[in-house]
Amino acid sequence: MRPEHWLFTIPLRLRSLLRRRQVDQELEDELSDHVERKTQEYIVKGLAPEEARRQALLEMGGIEKRKEECRDVRRVRWLQDLEQDLRFGLRVLRKSPSFTAIAIATLAIGIGANATIFAVVENVLLKPLPFPDSAQLVDCGHDVPSIGLHGRSAAFLYFIYREQSRSFQSVGMWRENSNNLTGLAEPEHVRSLELTSEVLPMIGVEPLLGRLFSDDDAAPGAPLTAILAYGFWREKFGADVSLIGRNIILDGRPHQVIGVLPRNFWFMDSKAAVLLPLQLDRNKTFLGRFQYSGIARLKPGVLLGQASADCARLIPVAFRTFPPLPGLSLASFEQSGLKPAITSLKASLLGDIGGVLWVLMGTIGMVLVIACANVANLMLVRTQGRQQELAIRSALGAGWWQIARELLVESLLLGGAGGAVGAALALAALRLLQVLHPEDFPRLEQISMDVGSLLFTFAISVFAGLLFGLIPAIRYAGGFMAAALHTAGRGAGESRQRHRARNALVVVQVALALVLLTSAGLMIRTFQALRHVNPGFLYPEELQTFDISIPRSVSADPVAVTRMEHIIADKIAAVPGVSRVGLTNDIPMGSSHWYDPVLIEGREAENLPGRVYKFVSPGLLATMGNSLVAGRDFTWEDLYNQHRVAMVSENLARELWGTPQAALGKHVRHMSISPWLEVIGVVGDERADGVDKPAPATIYWPLLMDHFGPEPLHATNEVSYVVRTPRAGSSAFIQELSQAVWSVSKELPLANPQTVEDLYKKSLARTSFALVLLGIAGAMAFALGVAGLYGVISYSVAQRTREIGIRVALGAQNSEVRRMFVREGALLAALGIIFGSIAALGLTRLMASLLFGVNPIDPLTYAAVAAALAAAAAVASYIPARRAMRVDPIVALRYE
Amino acid sequence: MYSVTKGTRHMSKPCDLVQGTLDMLLLKILALEPMNGFAVSQRLKQISGDVLQVSDGSLYPALHKLEQEGWIAAEWKTSEHGRRAKYYSLTRLGRRQLEKEANAWGRLSSAISRVVKLKEA
């Protein structure tokens, strides 16, 4: 049967399947019609009507039975064909186990890799967040361009939206925080989530035990309550149900436990152990203090743009409703450019990881194509080998479609098997990903191999099977001529056409391998560039950090707080191995910064951008290894005597006053009600946002200051200690640090001990992740491409054995023969490299967002990759070529 | 799959034909002109002088098989009596198949004739 024949009968077959009742009716009509006509004929011949009818029916032999027979003829045929093909295909595959094994393994790798990345993409990027009607949930953030703030919210905005918004049905605010939990065996630092009462109902959470926050809990001055996370409740309190109603002590204050969250609770990847109510006092709300994240649920039918416009409308209303923070002017708010930045909640969570994932998806897709090309080549070779058998069958009357159908069934079986193994590999890979737990990966726990991924795996298995099955089927579309019977017998070699298909496939493989290797190479360069950036501090692996927060219950007086911090620092300095200690509110690459504008004497009128506010103790600069470019550091006398001093970063100094030296002696302050502070030192730039981002302009305030803000004295209660020691990172050392801290106060747990090196690595996490995966893809592509080239040249040698024999017999040298094949391989590799380079030039532009310090068209990388591929290709051609040399002409000419 | 029935009036010797010949005969009849199932069996009977008679029970399964293979196509038409009837016609592919089978039949039958006509010693 020719292909058009089969296509022609498809509608018919489909109809028998789908319109069964109608077809049945037609059958009935047809047979009844026949009986009618027969009856008429007998009547004409002289029989009585009933007799005629009886005779006609008799001859038909029972209409139902005939209908059944007709139905059998229609229905079962193609099913029987399929069953036969499947059995035959399985037998053929079983008979060549090495081919089957290699093909399945190759496909499993390609399909498995794709399934893995797809599962990640589907669960992270495509699936909606696990909240009811999550499309209505938005991140109610705001941008303040004048101080460089993005995506934050503030209490005054919360109140205004709650009261007057026309587009939100519910508005809330939240932030992550941490607290000291005391009253247990050891004090502990726990992460917490502070929320307004609307948030949990907005996301549809039902408590496992107890209740959620009510509006009363969120009222200012109300008794403090807390909700525990399931894991924390089970671990720390042994899942004690009677805990509800009892108190736990956080930051020295009792909180009544009112509920426990369900086990599957998830909110914006927060690891909080405890949820606390945000008690905001509307009467004490000022303009400013963008410390929170806003969340809201849109009213049905409201679009993001409408909500944005509505918020923009309400901002001036807010300005008129609430007073500005003391020391700031209303005008500064009006000119700040505050505008809403409403985005879908999912978008705000995912950030820019989408870019990385789509790039990975693209590269892994390429690996699959290479794998398919490899298997297609293998199939072409095999079909070549079966040419005689197929030619005979064709001569005996098998149509092209029949043989092609067999080949397709084989390839689909291979695809299916490869897909099944690949799915298993993907499951393992996803499990591994969960175990490795790369930092900062959104929605990591939600990644799993679900129905969508399985469907995808199935679909690409079928696609792959069709792809590499059709290639040999089409190649032999010309039919198996009798000529094939002759030539196969004498083995003069295959026709040029067949060879061209395999050569084309190899060129494609090499080209794709080049693209992947180039992107992997670019990532390596990026990584190197990032590691070479001077972060502004020294030897981060020797810097141990930890956080302490001193709650009011321990010490309310700012001077006492500072003294306590000083004593702790001295105690730590006494621990063996410690060379220097310092403390600050803000360690590089830690969590977010405090941004605020800095007022400069002599430049009042200017619109002031936000700077990073760092509160530091004396000695921090020396501990971190920051360079002091001009002037001096703070001293403890400066702090205790409340000298009016400050330091600035080098880039800030240059921006404001031209040179670091010029900055010394200038005056700055935080608010207009604060006294002027003199700049006494200029600190070298520090890449506090990660090495791939520029160093932010920073101002260094002393830990203890008078009239920094509205309060008479300002101390920093939440600090990070930085300790320089070769013992950084060891848990014994951290124990000793804890002892040192507790010798000063029993109620201060150490939190988040990590080395600055850890933080540094975390900031590189995304790049590392992309690098590892691209590296693996590149390596796979390289291996497959080189193997493909080797295979083609090997086969070429095997096919042309006779020709080699003739040449040698006619006097060709060994080296000449060898060169023949090496040249063939080199030509294919060269073509692949050229096409690959052209493709890479276009495609690497897509990964520009992942790169740092290197151009997507970096000539060095391209040259290195091309050279590596060329070298590998040379070896891959040389080895089979050497085999060609060993051909004994007599043997070659005799046998075939 | 089919058999030649004994005629209602006179007894004809049943001819055992090679399987597949029925297909060829049906195709040939339909090559003359499109007609419905009943008419095909009548025509065959008429042309062959009552020698080849297809039983009703074998006719329709055979016709449906030919339709399934795509060698004949069916169309529902209102007949002369105002009734709806299914008319079969030969397709392009069917024509090719008919040619193939006719050639094969020709070779087979001449070969058989040659053997049968051999002079016995």
For A390-403, how does the pLDDT look when each residue is reduced to its tens digit (9 = 90+)? 777 777 766 677 77
Instruction: List CB contacts (< 8 A) between A1 and chain B.
Output: 69-70
A782 with A895, same domain: the answer is yes
Q: Residue B2 falls within a domain, yes or no? A: no
- pLDDT band at A482; cut points 50, 70, 90: very low
- pLDDT band at A298; cut points 50, 70, 90: very high
Count of structural domains within chain B: 1
Q: Residue A379 falls within a domain, yes or no? A: no
The full 3-state SS of A124-188, as one line of letters, equals HHHCCCCCCCHHHEEEEEEEEHHHCEEEEECHHHHHHHHHHCCCEEEEEEEEEEEEEEECCCCCE
A590 with A705, same domain: the answer is yes
Q: Residue A15 falls within a domain, yes or no? A: yes
Distances (CA, A) of A411 to A3, A78, A415, A685: 18, 19, 6, 61
For A119-139, how does the pLDDT look when each residue is reduced to its tens digit (9 = 90+)? 888 888 888 888 999 899 999
Instruction: List CB contacts (< 8 A) between A37 and chain B.
Output: 38
A68 with A212, same domain: the answer is no
Say which residue, B50 or A197, is predicted with more confidence: A197
For A458-481, how does the pLDDT look when each residue is reduced to its tens digit (9 = 90+)? 898 888 888 888 877 776 655 555
- Which residue range is the domain that position B35 belongs to? 21-112
A895 with A778, same domain: the answer is yes
Q: Residue B121 falls within a domain, yes or no? A: no
Contact B60 A36 (CB under 8 A): no
Q: Residue A411 falls within a domain, yes or no? A: no
Beta carbons of A771 and A526 less than 8 angstroms apart: yes
A159 with A308, same domain: the answer is yes
Distances (CA, A) of A195 to A5, A176, A214, A285, A644: 69, 9, 11, 17, 38
The residue from A719, A747, A775 where one domain ends is A747
Instruction: Find the CB nearest A70 among B38, B56, B64.
Output: B64
- pLDDT band at B14; cut points 50, 70, 90: very low
Instruction: List CB contacts (< 8 A) between A64 and chain B.
Output: none
Instruction: Find the CB nearest A61 among B57, B76, B86.
Output: B57
Q: Tell me the C-alpha distance between B55 and B57, whole Å.
A: 5
Q: Is the pLDDT confidence value at A258 over 90?
A: yes
pTM: 0.66
Lowest mean pLDDT among A306-320, A327-341, A640-654, B92-106: A327-341
A231 with A272, same domain: the answer is yes
> Torsion angle of alpha carbons B110, B114, B115, B116, nearest 10°?
90
For B65, nearest residue in chain A (alpha carbons): A73
Q: Tell me the C-alpha distance between A195 and A204, whole Å.
A: 14
Count of structural domains within chain A: 4
Q: Between A and B, how many residue pairs show a Cβ–Cβ distance under 8 A?
A: 69
A706 with A805, same domain: the answer is no
A576 with A708, same domain: the answer is yes
Q: What is the pLDDT of residue A477?
A: 56
Q: How far is B35 from chain A (nearest CA, A)?
A: 12
Best mutation target, A12, A17, A31, A33, to test chain B (most B CBs within 10 A): A33
Q: Residue A62 falls within a domain, yes or no? A: yes
Q: Residue B50 falls within a domain, yes or no? A: yes
A585 with A701, same domain: the answer is yes
Contact A34 B67 (CB under 8 A): no
CATH number, domain of B90, equals: 1.10.10.10
The residue from A718, A747, A776 where one domain ends is A747
Contact A77 B8 (CB under 8 A): no
Q: Is the pLDDT confidence value at A149 over 90?
A: no
A797 with A658, same domain: the answer is no
Percentage above 70 pLDDT, chain A: 93
A662-670 — which CB contacts under 8 Å span 24+ positions?
Answer: A663/A630, A663/A631, A664/A630, A664/A631, A666/A600, A666/A601, A667/A600, A667/A601, A668/A598, A668/A599, A668/A600, A668/A601, A668/A699, A669/A598, A669/A599, A669/A601, A670/A327, A670/A596, A670/A598, A670/A599, A670/A613, A670/A701, A670/A708, A670/A709
Q: Residue B4 falls within a domain, yes or no? A: no
Q: How far is A61 from chain B (nearest CA, A)?
A: 6
Contact A30 B85 (CB under 8 A): yes
Q: Is the pLDDT confidence value at A436 over 80?
A: no
The residue from A687, A722, A747 where one domain ends is A747
Q: What is the pLDDT of residue B1?
A: 32
Q: Residue A473 falls within a domain, yes or no? A: no
Contact A33 B83 (CB under 8 A): yes
Q: Is the pLDDT confidence value at A7 over 90?
A: no
DSSP string, A32-97: HHHHHHHHHHHHHHT--HHHHHHHHHHHHT-HHHHHHHHHHHHHHHHHHHHHHHHHHHHHHHHH-H
Lowest mean pLDDT among A79-88, A191-200, A584-593: A79-88
Most confident of A270-274, A448-452, A603-607, A692-696: A270-274
Q: What is the pLDDT of residue B99?
A: 92
Q: What is the pLDDT of residue A310?
A: 93
ipTM score for this prediction = 0.80
Instruction: List CB contacts (< 8 A) between B37 and chain A.
Output: 30, 34
- Which residue range is the domain that position A15 belongs to? 3-78
Say which residue, A8 or A444, is predicted with more confidence: A444
Beta carbons of A819 and A885 less than 8 angstroms apart: no
Q: How far is B86 from chain A (nearest CA, A)?
A: 6
Lowest mean pLDDT among A85-99, A357-371, A626-640, A680-694: A85-99
A616 with A664, same domain: the answer is yes
Q: How far is B120 from chain A (nearest CA, A)?
A: 35
- pLDDT band at A494; cut points 50, 70, 90: low
Contact A8 B93 (CB under 8 A): yes
Q: Residue B53 falls within a domain, yes or no? A: yes
Q: Tell me the C-alpha distance between A288 and A267, whole Å.
A: 26
A734 with A588, same domain: the answer is yes
Q: How far is A85 from chain B (nearest CA, A)?
A: 18
Q: Residue B117 falls within a domain, yes or no? A: no
